[in-house]
Each structure stands twice: as structure tokens, then as C-alpha cells.
Amino acid sequence: MTSDLIYDQLIGAGCASKVIFSWGGNPGVGSLHRLRDAVANGWPRKIEILEHSHAAVPSVRPDVSIVHAQKADRQGNVLVQDIIGDYVSPKVRLPGGGGAPEIATNASEVFVTLKDSKRTFVKDVDFVTTLGFGPVPATHKLLTRLGLSMDDIDIIELNEAFASQALACMRELGIADDDPRVNVNGGGIALGHPLGMTGARLLLTAAHELHKQQKQYALCTMCIGVGQGIATVIERV
């Protein structure tokens, strides 16, 4: 949001009201409580920032370099950032994330190499009439494909687009409202929902938790506009 205008970003009350009337329940403040407990226990750990200066990025393209850029915000503060030069379109190069919404402006990318990506990733659009509910059919399809059940999943990172949306998905998947596997460090309600990097945050949080808890499987889900949904399972080996 800005101090001058309020923009309708299609994050409407209709989605929240539809799922809360269908599945009921009080969203509560569980996400904030989990974040509070995680911080009290030392989360997040310090992240090492790697310094780059026109360094080659062979994992992306050998001819691409990370370059230095500056941009001023609306208050005139100069923002300094490293960006991947010609790999990103000039239209989105400086802001990052393709013009990430102001719900929480961040951007990131994750490059993952899988032996068989078709087994670990599912996108679904069955429930196009219920915005936010897409993770449910996507998760069912993925677990069936992998021969797993929710009981096999050790860590669950389920994006909290709305509290009622998250609860509706959890209940339809047979996950208790207070299941300790879900968003153990807090979810989108507590941490924010940066549309330009939420997927990466979910995936990396799940990976770190699998390592920390020495568990095997983690499920990451996200809803998308117009009823789509994504589910991904990662395994610690």
C-alpha cells in the first residue's frame, strides 16, 4: 500500500468469507505464536551473504554475470542490490521478482535439479470456483503418485494466503488445526506473503527443517489466483 492510494490487488474478502463459511473455525493467532516460539529458539539462523562482483554464474549461463545496480525509493533512499545482468528482462531487472506486489516486496529464485521432476511436483486447477483451495487436489494427486499419505509427511509448509484459506485446506487434507508439522516457524500471516519469493521461502524453510529435525519428507503447497494450486514433496537423502 502507499500513503496516497489504495490499490485493489484482487486479495478480496470473498475468498476468505467463502472458505470460512464452508469449513468454519476461528483462524486465531497460531501462525504468530509459532513464529514467536521459533525466534525464541534461535530461528532464523544467521545467513551468510556471498559477495559478488561481475562474477560468472555457470549454474545459470556461463555468459551471464551478476552486476551492481542502484535504485532510489519514493523517499529518495538509495537501494543497492546485485542482479543477474542480461538474464532478467530490463522491465523487471531493477525492482526484482517481476514487479512483486506490495503485500511484501521481495524476490528470489531457486534452481533445483531432480531425477524425475514429474514425480515430485503437481499443479492442479480442479477447484476453480473456490479461490485458494487448489492445494488440496494437487496434494491428493501428488501423494497418490508418490505412494505416500499425509502420515508419511514430516514437515508441512502450507502458505497462509488467508487464515481461513489455510485452515480450509488443512481440514480437507485431514490435518489438525494445531498440527505441529505445519509452518513450524510461522507462516505467511506472521512472516508476510512476498509473492515474488514465497515459493522459494517455503521450499528452503522445509529443507532446513528436514535437516534440523533429521526427518525424511516435506510437503510444500501454495494456492494461486483463479483456483489453481501447487504441491511439491522434497526428500532428505
Per-residue confidence (pLDDT) for residue 157, from 0 to 100: 94
Per-residue confidence (pLDDT) for residue 34, from 0 to 100: 73
| Length reported for the chain | 237
Q: Which amino acid is at 176?
A: A
Please state the rounded mean pLDDT for residues 164-169: 83
Please state the rounded mean pLDDT for residues 196-215: 87
Residue 210: in which H helix or E strand, if any? helix 198-213
Sign of the CA dihedral with 207 first, then 209, 215, and 220 last: negative
CA dihedral 113, 116, 120, 121 (to 10 degrees): 80
Which residue's C-alpha cell is 556461463? 62
Per-residue confidence (pLDDT) for residue 181, from 0 to 100: 95
In this predicted structure, the answer to whether residue 202 has a pLDDT above a threshold of 70 is: yes
CB 55 within 8 A of CB 65: yes
105: burial class by Cβ within 10 Å (0-12, 13-18, 19+)?
middle
CB 97 within 8 A of CB 107: yes
Question: For the chain, which domains are there?
Answer: 13-43+111-235 (3.40.47.10)
Please state the rounded mean pLDDT for residues 155-166: 85
Q: What is the pLDDT of residues 85-132, one digit of tens each?
A: 443 434 333 333 333 333 555 555 555 555 554 455 555 555 456 777
In this predicted structure, the answer to whether residue 218 has a pLDDT above a threshold of 80 is: yes
Please state the rounded mean pLDDT for residues 58-67: 44
Per-residue confidence (pLDDT) for residue 107, from 0 to 100: 55
Per-residue confidence (pLDDT) for residue 139, from 0 to 100: 92
pTM: 0.59
| Contact partners, residue 148, CB within 8 Å, separation at least 6 | 217, 233
